[in-house]
Amino acid sequence: MIRKIRFSFTVSLLAFGLLISCTDKPDQEKKALSQLPFTTLSFSSLSSFQKPEADNWQTVGKVYADRRKDLQLTKEDGSGILVNLPDDQKKSNLFTDFEHGDIELEIDFMLPKGSNSGIYLQGRYEIQLFDSWGKEEIAPSDCGGIYNRWNEQTSSGYDGVAASINACKAPGLWQKLKIKFQAPRFDEDGKKIANARFEEVKLNNIVIHKNVEITGPTRSAGFEDESPTGPLMIQGDHGPIAFRDFRYKLHDKEKIKLADMRYKFYEGEFDSFDTLSSLTTSQEKPTDSLTFKAAGDFDIYAIQFEGLITAPRKGDYLFEVRGYGPIRLMIDGKLVANNLLSQNMSDPGYGEVNLSEGNHNFTLSFLKNEQPWRKGMSLVYEGPQIPKTSLQAKSSVPTHPQPQPLIVSADENVQLQRGFLIHHGIKRTHTVTVGTPQHINYALEMSNGALLEGWRGGYIDVTDMWHERGEAQLIQPLGSALELSEKPLLASLENNESAWPDTLQADNNLFIYQGYELDPNGIPAYLYQWNNTAVRDLILPDASIHGLVRELDFQSDNADTPLYCLLAEGSVIEKLEDGSYAIDDKNYYLDLTESANSEPIVRTQAETQQLILAISASTSSQKVKYSLIW
Amino acid sequence: MTFKNISFSIIFFLLTLPTLFAQGTMSDQENEFYNITTLPIPDDIVLEVGGMAFMPDDRLAVATRRGEIWLINNPYMKGGKLPEFKRFASGLHEPLGLAYHNNALYTTQRAELTKIIDTNQDDLGDKFQTIYSWPLSGNYHEYSYGPLFLPNGDMLVTLNLAWVGYGASLVKWRGWMLKITEDGKMTPIATGLRSPAGFNFDADGNVFYAENQGDWIGSGRITHLEKGDFAGNPAGLRWTGEPLSPLDLKPNQIPDSVGLMYEFAKEVPSLKIPTVWFPHTIVGISTSAILTDTTGGKFGPFEGQMLVGDQGHSKIMRVALEKVNGEYQGVCFPFKEGFSSGILRFAWGTDGSLFVGMTSRGWASTGKEMYGLQKLSWTGKTPFEIKTMKAMPDGFELEFTEPVQKAVAEDVNAYQMTSFTYSYHRTYGSPIIQQQDCPITAAMVSADRKKVRLHVDGLRGGYIHEIKANGVRSAKGKALLHPVGYYTLNNIPGGGVNENVIASNNQSTEKDTEASCGWDASKRTTEMPTDWKGKADVVINIGTEPGLKYSVKNFEVPAGARVQLTFNNNDDMLHNLVITKPGTIEEVSTASMQMGLDGPQRGYIPKSDNIMFHTCILQPETSESIYFVAPEEDEYTYVCTFPGHAQVMRGVMKVIPSNAKTASR
């Protein structure tokens, strides 16, 4: 008997439906909570910190650092931002009033030019914060580095680890640091049995450390010993710095315990959880682990685990279920999480529940009703002072071997590669990427002229395009990408207030991309046509600003309807003292040096601000030139 | 630069050595008339050929799936010198076609038709002009092919369907052939296309495209495409409501299970029936390149005929067309096998040799190399072949390349004819259906002894007619190099299908049309034996991985264990799983390649005592469980015997002592 597999069709169809709807309109629905909220540390005052000896630390409302001026950071009164403005006398370090062991923390920081600070986990293990913007070679003393330990006898540093990539942004911009830290472990006699460890450190959304052990306190630590806990220390004696959005989760050792587990096994194909409750099964057995392997050799079945969850403390718990088949978690008789009957482990189901300390009944039901060769189910949770932890057995989750990566390097020559690219979570299909020996790279959406992203560092990983069938056909940038707006470069607006279109209309398209021309170095200039206007778009790396320069030339046969050019979009756009713009709440700078004889317009559209330029109706050549600096 | 200085025909010879005993070295026999030369490719170039075009200076331009274009100087290796490679362009998105026209190269990337110009003549493309662009959903299967230049300078491109468990046209104009002018004006020409990787002209300048077996496509074929045609897969009909569409047929006008395409086309005028069918696995499995012999005799005696490449079987077929009742139809013959990788592209060299560009990444082929470039040349010797086969009101006329022995050729027993067709339905592929024998009643040799007129009973319009002329000998006593051909009889000369022909069906012996699997039902037990009391000792699940692989390459079972083996075909092509006796894998593989029409009928299970257990041939996204008792301790190779798969798609079942603990997977 040949068995037809129904579900794979509908599942893949659904996946495509989603893909298409994503590109058509942004998802309006509120995303289910996929992790528990962080504790935020308010910067309305210094009350969360031990009182520093000197008053170089304060909370302010706004900061500004001119990217060209050494160590200059200016402030405006208010709250929400922690700032250090030291001088020769006043230069205390700052310690939190809480102590931590294992911790996950996220913080934004801003460095003025040439400045230096650092975050010491437990007051001992430093992630260096330093203005390393644009440096080709980086050391442990550069931004994101795990700073060297110090040998007094030899006056030399050791055991430091540089960031794996220089992801540092320009002075005066907000940068994001995310740290997962595991404290050292000690036995009952206080003897260290495991080193402290940075499980993961991300700078500007790219991983710069993964599972790095630290043998002891780094140089200039607040304490010389090691300990299960300690206060977080921010270095204050090396230069000015600002912080905002300090969020953290403290983790403890105690985790959920599973007890009194057993499972019921049902042979056959089940499409609904409710069917199970009406059935009796003789196959009920005790078990010590949650795994689909309890089903033994069966392909198509349902399995229901029951038992006790022992919560170590009262609080909010978040559960995540996944399976190659419908999976559902009930606690104390109430539905907590289900995967909406998905057949794919890449679709999680989340649910949050407040549990009292102690025992709770749980039921985990898994319907293996399709695609027998795809096997796996998982149950993961996060709780009060508990990081994401798996409850299922390790063997219940499949592992896939990864192919040898296929990398395209632009170290020697300019490289151009077309392919698909994920941008703001959406697959872009008419994308071109360009890599340069200056290690300043970008991606452009050719179908609408949107400069999608820029990144420094390596060029691209094309494994997803060139391995086997290349089913994803994706280009992966090898660097921390600055994601820009995907909206069309050009639009005809009735007036300055008209909304900018999200997409070009496929059938009534005024914008036609005509390809590109390469200069002798292989740098492309793109050509577009908009009604009667020809546009030439040249994007060049500029090592002096570690960024990109874009030159747009407009040439008209005769006057078109009013044509506008979108230069930038972001939450907040500010014009700075030096005449350049800080875009998206100081995420990057835009320096407009030629503006087609037109006055740039900063305007507010719904929740974003846009920087646009009217291209005047003229038959002479019009030029727009701007730099992107990040 | 180092070169892979290896002659490819030698490697192929070694790899296929076991098959040669049975078949008498077909590739070698063919080599006497047409031989293969391998162009050495520098080690640092991944020449996964997507497109090929000769330049006026006789350099060969090659577009690769990694987005490069290479100019190859001296591809003929004249003077014993190696070809020289120069990179002309890079960064394209999987170009799958290349044409030279008016000092420029034209290629089709996934998203657009592109013209590439070398403005300063330094052999580097510097202007990449987008002639026309189309939307993409982002699905990997949305390959785009072309262009083919029409005499007036307009271009044709074809757009593959997406694969989402079936072929789908997720965005406009997937599943279509488009005509595009130099200045970017697009006209949709025809739809119903599924995987239109190859298309080209016949000798008269008509456009034919090659299609692969798939959903709605019972078997490989070529189809003459004209404006407004619907070639069979309904996915592209989604866009017939668009203003530019030349036809208005809608997807819901095609029922899920139509029956016979030939009959349905009488009700649906825009449905274009295939010009020539290539019976699946018998004459290739994935038609690709098409090229008509326009060498003026430099390539041998087949001037004006069409060559059709096959990606999966690494071989070339030959097609002779004729026009009957105003429509093209014709015959396909085996021609040359033994290429090194999956054939995707052809180009004629100026010396009349055929350049063959290949890739097998993601789509495995019998030629084991991941990519390659080879040259097929006529040795000057004429093979004894059926040159053409033409339909006659009451039979066929065969024309041979050499005079035949009259006495033998006039014996009707020198020939065998059978006819069959395929189902037209949503399902992937089709078994051979409605097969019946066509008795040969007379054979008459022409005065020049180069033609034989066959009188045949039971001709059926719309059916494929297989001719086997094993008994025919040349005047010099030679047997035919390829004694078999497949004629697609859409029209019978002299007024179409006449009623007598239909009536004569009853006189012929209708064979069992239901596809069965294998020859011995005891080797395929698909229900658990009742005495197992609902429980197998060992359950094995095996799926597939892309590139002709089983997901489980080996497993262990104890001797005597009751085994339930489930094979899940989650690939997008047909597979089976056959467990063979130790040491017999090559014999079984070879036998599977030689099943002919029995293949589709028997689930590609050869008749062999060396086969112990097997599943049936499984559609994509289907599964089957078989039950057997594990044999004595030894290692048993399992294999997919779908033709072309057996060399790579293998695994080993190790039977261990019965008291050992099962360590399966």
| pLDDT > 70 in chain B, percent | 92
pLDDT of B19 higher than 70: no
B543 and A CB contact within 8 Å: yes
Q: Which residues of B touch A2 (CB under 8 A)?
A: 616, 618-619, 622-624
CB interface of B with A, residues 107-136, below 8 Å: 109-112, 114-115, 124-130, 133, 135-136
**Dist. CA B269–CA B248, nearest whole Å:** 11
Q: At which residue do the structure tokens 């391995």 appear? A: A467
DSSP code at position A182: E
Average per-residue pLDDT in chain A?
Answer: 91
- Residue B450 confidence class, pLDDT cut points 50, 70, 90: very high
pLDDT exceeds 90 at position B648: no
Tokens representing residue A460 in the block: 């691209």
Average pLDDT over residues B16-41: 76
CB under 8 Å to B191, separation ≥6 — which residues? B173, B175, B176, B177, B229, B230, B231, B236, B237, B239, B240, B247
SS3 of B334-361: the string is: EEEECCCCCEEEEEECCCCCEEEEEECC
Q: Is B517 exposed, middle or buried (0-12, 13-18, 19+ CB in 10 A)?
A: buried
CB B207 within 8 A of CB B224: yes
* Model confidence band, residue A277 (pLDDT cutoffs 50, 70, 90): confident
Element (H, E) at A527: strand A524-530
Question: Is the per-residue pLDDT at A10 higher than 70?
Answer: no
Looking at residue A90, its pLDDT comes to 94
pLDDT at B289 over 60: yes
Contact of A281 with chain B, judged by CB distance below 8 Å, is answered with no
Which of B433, B400, B395 has its CA nearest to residue B417?
A: B395
Q: Report CA-CA distances (Å) from B620 to B213, B427, B598.
A: 12, 9, 21
Which residue in chain B has the smallest CA separation from A516? B128
- Tell me, what's the pLDDT at B601? 77
Residue B500 pLDDT? 38
pLDDT digits (tens, 9 = 90+) for A609-624: 999 999 986 767 899 9
A278: how many CB neighbours lie within 10 A of its CB? Answer: 6
Which has the higher per-residue pLDDT, B632 or B504?
Answer: B632
Q: CA nearest A173: which of A440, A386, A482?
A: A482
Q: Residues near A350 by Cβ (< 8 Å), separated by ≥ 6?
A: A32, A33, A34, A318, A319, A320, A337
- Give the span between the Cα atoms of A442 and A435, in whole angstroms: 7
Q: DSSP secondary-structure letter at B217?
A: B
Q: Cβ A20–B137 below 8 Å, yes or no? A: yes
- Which structure tokens are listed for B334? 């085996």
Mean pLDDT for A384-409 is 93
Q: What is the pLDDT of residues B219-231, one digit of tens each?
A: 999 999 999 999 9
Q: Which of A22-31, A153-162, B477-486 has the lowest mean pLDDT?
A: A22-31
The token pair that represents A518 in the structure block: 């390469």
Among the ranges given (A544-553, B13-22, B533-542), the one the predictor scored with the smallest mean pLDDT: B13-22
Q: What is the pLDDT of residues B501-535, one digit of tens each?
A: 443 333 333 344 445 688 888 899 988 888 888 88
Is beta strand A377-383 parallel, antiparallel or unpaired with respect to A386-390?
antiparallel
Task: Give the mean pLDDT of A526-532.
Answer: 92
**B618 vs B511, more confident:** B618
Rounded Cα gap, residues A542 and B77, in angstroms: 46
**pLDDT for residue B460:** 95
- CA-to-CA distance for B348 and B359, rounded, in angstroms? 19
- Rounded distance, CA A26 to CA A423, Å? 13
The span from the CA of B48 to the CA of B311, in Å, is 12
pLDDT at site B518: 85
Give the pLDDT band of residue B392 (cuts 50, 70, 90): very high
Residue range A171-198: mean pLDDT, rounded:
97
Instruction: Flag whether pLDDT at A559 surpasses 70.
Output: no
3-state helix, strand, coil in chain A (%, to 5): 5, 50, 45
Handedness of CA B168, B170, B173, B174 (dihedral sign): negative
Q: Which of A300, A263, A346 is closest to A18 using CA atoms?
A: A346
The rounded distance, in Å, linking the Cα atoms of B317 and B308 is: 5
Mean pLDDT for B94-114 is 98
Q: CA-CA distance, B651 to B548, in Å (whole number)?
A: 11
Answer for the pair A615, A599: CB distance below 8 angstroms, yes or no.
Answer: no
Distance separating alpha carbons of residues A379 and A394, to the nearest angstrom: 11
Alpha helix stretches (DSSP H) within B240-363 = 261-267
Contact A2 B622 (CB under 8 A): yes
Q: How far is residue A127's CA from residue A577's CA, in Å, rounded to a whole number?
A: 32
User: Closest by alpha carbon to B60, among B75, B50, B45?
Assistant: B75
Q: What is the pLDDT of residue A616?
A: 80
In this model, does residue A153 exceed pLDDT 60? yes
Mean pLDDT over each residue of chain B, to the nearest integer? 90
Classified as helix, coil or strand, A129 is strand
User: What's the sign of the alpha-carbon dihedral A50, A56, A59, A65?
Assistant: negative
Q: Is the bond preceding B147 in cis, omega lying within 30 degrees of 0?
A: yes
Residue A276 binned pLDDT confidence (cut-offs 50, 70, 90): confident
Confirm or reject contact between B557 and chain A (CB < 8 A).
no
Which of B46, B88, B93, B556 should we substitute to test contact with A (largest number of A Cβ atoms within 10 Å)? B93
A492: nearest Cα among A514, A509, A515: A509
Q: Quick check: helix, strand or coil at residue A319?
A: strand
Alpha-carbon distances of A80 from A42, A44, A93, A353, A525, rounded to whole Å: 7, 5, 19, 31, 44
Cα A167 vs. chain centroid, distance in angstroms? 13
- Greater confidence (B294 vs A26) lies with B294
DSSP A52: P
Longest dimension (CA), chain B: 81
User: Given B136, B363, B621, which is nearest A5 (Cβ)?
Assistant: B621
pLDDT on residue A508 = 57
Query: Under an 8 A CB cutoff, do B166 and A9 touch?
Result: yes
Closest partner CB to A373 (pick from B130, B184, B541) = B541
Region of poorest pLDDT, from A120-129, A399-408, B141-150? A399-408
Task: Choose among B528, B486, B585, B496: nearest CA to B280.
Answer: B486
Flag the least confident range among A73-82, B189-198, B561-570: B561-570
Residue A600 clears pLDDT 60, i.e. is over it: yes
Q: Judge whether residue A338 has pLDDT over 50.
A: yes
Report pLDDT for B603.
Answer: 84
Interface of B with A in 142-161 (CB under 8 A): none
Higher pLDDT, B21 or A630: A630
Closest CA relative to residue B626, chosen from B527, B557, B545, B537: B527
Query: Please, are residues A177 and A119 in contact by the beta-carbon 8 Å criterion?
Result: yes
Which of A130-144, A262-276, B3-17 bottoms out in mean pLDDT, i.e. has the lowest?
B3-17
CA atoms within 13 A on the CB side of A465: 29
- Bridge partner list, A172: none
Interface size, chain A vs chain B, as Cβ–Cβ contacts under 8 Å: 149
CB proximity B663 to A under 8 Å: no
Tell me whether strands A490-492 and A622-629 are parallel, antiparallel or unpaired. unpaired
Give the pLDDT of residue B8: 38
What is residue B387's three-state secondary structure? strand
* CB proximity list for A397: less than 8 A, separation 6 or greater: A345, A376, A377, A378, A390
Are the Cβ atoms of B139 and A8 closer than 8 angstroms?
no
Nearest to B191 by CA among B270, B96, B305: B270
Residue A322: what are its φ and ψ, rounded to 5°?
-145, 155
Pair A576, A538: CB distance under 8 Å: no
Q: Write down the pLDDT at residue A469.
A: 92
Find the mean pLDDT for residues A528-544. 94
- Looking at residue A148, the DSSP 8-state letter turns out to be P
pLDDT of res. A506:
55
Q: State which amino acid sits at residue A481.
A: A
SS (H, E, C) A446-510: CCCCEEEEEEECCCEECHHHHCCCCCCCECEECCCEEECCCCCCEEECCCCCCCCCCCCCCCCCC
Q: Report the alpha-carbon angle A294-A295-A300, nearest 5.
A: 155
Q: Which chain B residue lies closest to A520 (C-alpha atoms)? A: B126
What's the pLDDT band for A370 if we cut at 50, 70, 90?
confident
Expressed in angstroms, the distance from the first to the final Cα of chain B is 44
Q: What is the pLDDT of residues A299-315, one digit of tens each?
A: 899 999 999 999 999 99
Mean pLDDT of B212-237: 97
Give me A43's structure tokens: 């910067």
Given this model, what pLDDT does residue A482 score? 97
Residue with tokens 């909010």: A316
| A residues 315-374 closer than 8 Å to B (CB) | 371-374
- CA-nearest of A289, A293, A285 to A258 is A289
Q: What is the pLDDT of residue B40?
A: 97
pLDDT surpasses 60 at A21: no
Distance separating alpha carbons of residues B665 and B647, to the nearest angstrom: 23
A14 touching chain B per CB within 8 A: no
Q: Is A20 on the interface with B (CB under 8 A)?
A: yes
Q: Considering only alpha carbons, which residue of chain B is nearest residue A19?
A: B137
Angle at B141 between CA B135 and CA B146, to 5 degrees: 70
Pick the residue from chain B with its C-alpha nearest to A422.
B138
Picking from B568, B524, B561, B563, the residue whose alpha carbon sits closest to that of residue B542 is B568
Q: Is the pTM of this model over 0.90?
A: no
Is a pLDDT exceeding 90 seen at residue A557? no
Does residue B624 register a pLDDT over 50?
A: yes
List beta partners, residue A286. Answer: A262
List pLDDT tens digits, range A76-108. 999 999 999 999 999 999 999 999 999 999 999
β-bridge mates for residue A390, sequence order: A380
Q: Put the strands of the sheet holding A601-605 in their side by side order.
A: A490-492, A563-570, A608-615, A601-605
